[in-house]
Amino acid sequence: MTLTMSPVLVWLSFSSINMWVVILSGFNFYHDYFSSKLYPVDSSEEFDFIVVGSGSAGSVVANRLSRNNRVFLLEAGGDPIHLHTIPGLAPDLLHRPQIDWIHKSLPQKDTLKAHVEQVSRWPRGKALGGSSNLNYMLYVRSHPLDYDNWANITGDPTWSYENVLPFFKKSNDYHGHFYNEKHYGQTGYGTLRVEELKWNPLKNCFINAGKQMGYPYIDLNGPQSSGFCELEVNQKNGERCGTFQAFVRPILHRENLVISRYSQATKAIPNKYSLQEGM
């Protein structure tokens, strides 16, 4: 009985994800709507900075700037929903209009032949935390040479790997396998928790297969060579730790940070002193 019921229960719970996305994001929307009626934003208020979009980048920028400035943060979506924190649901939360912009490519003539109308859908998060609510949480900094190349191309040495490394360390709360002081932070200002993927049953098979083929076991974010490694992810005790959890939620109490949810910027208004007078 239990055996035959389990696939049905699994099917039922997955088929109801759409319903839960609608209910939870609807709750967030109406909660924000009534809060904004009770505590309206003073539209004559002036800010030192306006940050548009609280995605992976905007959340960090708003966090840093609001340490000692008045900051207005505009986000087209609302708070992330609880389902966002469950890593296993990541693929099921894509293409839901309440939390994903669902950008689409133009129909392609020669490619995307397996796609309906040869159109590709490009997910992008629409909520505080942006696409870090939808992504697959792999913590990958990219190769140090990429940064050095950008420094060469732009002629700006601040892009070099040695220069950006302190900022990676600063935003990290690293609990993976490869801790060393040169590459990882644990006690810095940031709370972006990085840890080993909790459930990874095939890990040793892949790493051992790599060793048999003569590849070393490496730290993907360390000084790089070709090799095999385990996955390290932005998670805290198995829950998603996106930029909302790491950089926005801990500072919601700041009085000099005003967040306007469900607010899509349509225009930047410049003045003669600065790039933007308002949005």
Ligand X SMILES: Cc1cc2nc3c(=O)[nH]c(=O)nc-3n(C[C@H](O)[C@H](O)[C@H](O)COP(=O)(O)OP(=O)(O)OC[C@H]3O[C@@H](n4cnc5c(N)ncnc54)[C@H](O)[C@@H]3O)c2cc1C
- Cβ of residue 3: shortest distance to ligand X, in angstroms? 33
Cβ(96)–Cβ(18) under 8 Å? Answer: yes
Question: With respect to ligand X, which residue has the nearer C-beta, 11 or 14?
Answer: 14
Query: By the criterion CB under 6 A, which residues form the site for ligand X?
Result: 52-58, 74-77, 94, 123-126, 130-132, 134-138, 140, 264-265
Instruction: Give ∠ CA 36-33-249 in degrees, rounded to 5.
Output: 75
State the helix-helix crossing angle for 144-154 and 161-171, rounded to 10 degrees. 130
Residues 6+ apart with CB under 8 A from 216: 225, 227, 228
Report the residue closest to ligand X, judged by CB: 55
Residue 262, judged by CB atoms within 10 A of its CB (0-12, 13-18, 19+), counts as middle
- Cβ of residue 8: shortest distance to ligand X, in angstroms? 29
Question: With respect to ligand X, which residue has the nearer C-beta, 151 or 220?
Answer: 220
Question: With respect to ligand X, which residue has the nearer C-beta, 177 or 211?
Answer: 177
- Cβ of residue 234: shortest distance to ligand X, in angstroms? 8
Question: With respect to ligand X, which residue has the nearer C-beta, 138 or 145?
Answer: 138
Question: With respect to ligand X, which residue has the nearer C-beta, 99 or 151?
Answer: 99
Question: With respect to ligand X, which residue has the nearer C-beta, 12 or 219?
Answer: 219
Phi/psi of residue 30, nearest 5 degrees? -70, -30
Query: For the chain, percent helix, then strand, then coil, each to nearest 5?
Result: 40, 15, 45
State the helix-helix crossing angle for 2-15 and 17-38, rounded to 10 degrees. 40
- Cβ of residue 6: shortest distance to ligand X, in angstroms? 28
Q: In 10 A of CB 145, how many CB atoms?
A: 11
- Cβ of residue 214: shortest distance to ligand X, in angstroms? 28
Q: In 10 A of CB 77, how many CB atoms?
A: 26
Question: With respect to ligand X, which residue has the nearer C-beta, 138 or 209?
Answer: 138
- Cβ of residue 263: shortest distance to ligand X, in angstroms? 6
Query: Cα-Cα-Cα-Cα dihedral of 201, 206, 211, 217, to 10°?
Result: -70
- Cβ of residue 59: shortest distance to ligand X, in angstroms? 8
